[in-house]
Amino acid sequence: MVLCYRSLQQDHLRIGNMPTPAIPNLTGNRTLRLLILCLGIMAASTAKARDYAVEVLVFERTEVSTEVEEQWNPGSNSQLTNLEKLQSLVDRVDDHPIGEGIAHLAGHQSKLLSSGYRVLHAARWQQPSEVYQNAPVVPVGTLDTRIRGAVRVYRTSLIFVDIALGLTDSLLDPDFPLYFINEKRRVKFKEVHYFDHPRFGALVTVWPVEG
């Protein structure tokens, strides 16, 4: 922005020192193009700085085989990685305000319930647009502790969702996850993204906060 201001200022000085007939031509070309460029940079900066409204819906299948793939195996390196990722993200959770109820995913919730799925977690929150290191890590969990995890929404030049969830069976140790969702994905505003697992799933949507 400083560069834009200085360029416009320099153009103004040059225009002021030139003969009057040359002013309209310069004003309609270089100075105008610089002004449009600066306004575009300001608009891009504003888009990055806007707040996000995030909604998360976690659900499980009520009828599923007991021999579900992708279950916890103590000797599995991939599942050990899932557990480490889950614990790492949970350890970083912030005291971020979370609202109850959802709006943009409400229709999906109704369809899931009518199709025999069980909703485990539904939440929404608002957060600032931040890079990875500064973005809030928002906890995901239920009162019966069957599911725990966290979600982080952050930006580079694009928007990403980083999600780590662990689900247990109610008859087993609730602190010992059996099934995992561990994924990072690029998202766009107002899209609904489905994070899938044979045992459970999650829907995530990110909307720009207007105003």
What integer pLDDT is reported at residue 177 of this predicted model? 77
What integer pLDDT is reported at residue 188 of this predicted model? 96
Highest mean pLDDT among 62-76, 83-97, 135-149, 151-165: 151-165
Report helix angle 32-49 to 2-17, nearest 10.
160
Over residues 116-125, mean pLDDT: 92
**pLDDT level of residue 18 (50, 70, 90 thresholds):** very low
Cα 189–195–137 angle (5° rounding)?
A: 70
What integer pLDDT is reported at residue 73 of this predicted model? 58
CB 154 within 8 A of CB 132: yes
Q: Please tell me the distance from the alpha carbon of residue 174 to that of residue 166, in angstroms, as a whole number.
A: 10
* pLDDT greater than 60 at residue 130: yes
Over residues 26-35, mean pLDDT: 54
What integer pLDDT is reported at residue 79 of this predicted model? 79
High-pLDDT (> 90) share of the chain, % = 44
What integer pLDDT is reported at residue 12 of this predicted model? 43
Q: How far is CA 155 from CA 106, 158, 184, in A?
A: 25, 5, 12
Considering only residues 72 and 129, tell me which one the structure prediction assigns the higher pLDDT: 129
Q: Please tell me the distance from the alpha carbon of residue 35 to that of residue 184, in angstroms, as a whole number.
A: 38
The pTM (predicted TM-score) of the whole model is 0.70
End-to-end CA distance of the chain: 23
Over residues 79-97, mean pLDDT: 87
Q: What is the pLDDT of residues 152-202, one digit of tens each?
A: 999 999 999 999 999 987 656 666 778 899 999 999 999 999 999 988 999
* pLDDT greater than 80 at residue 69: no
Arithmetic mean of pLDDT over the chain: 77
What integer pLDDT is reported at residue 95 of this predicted model? 87
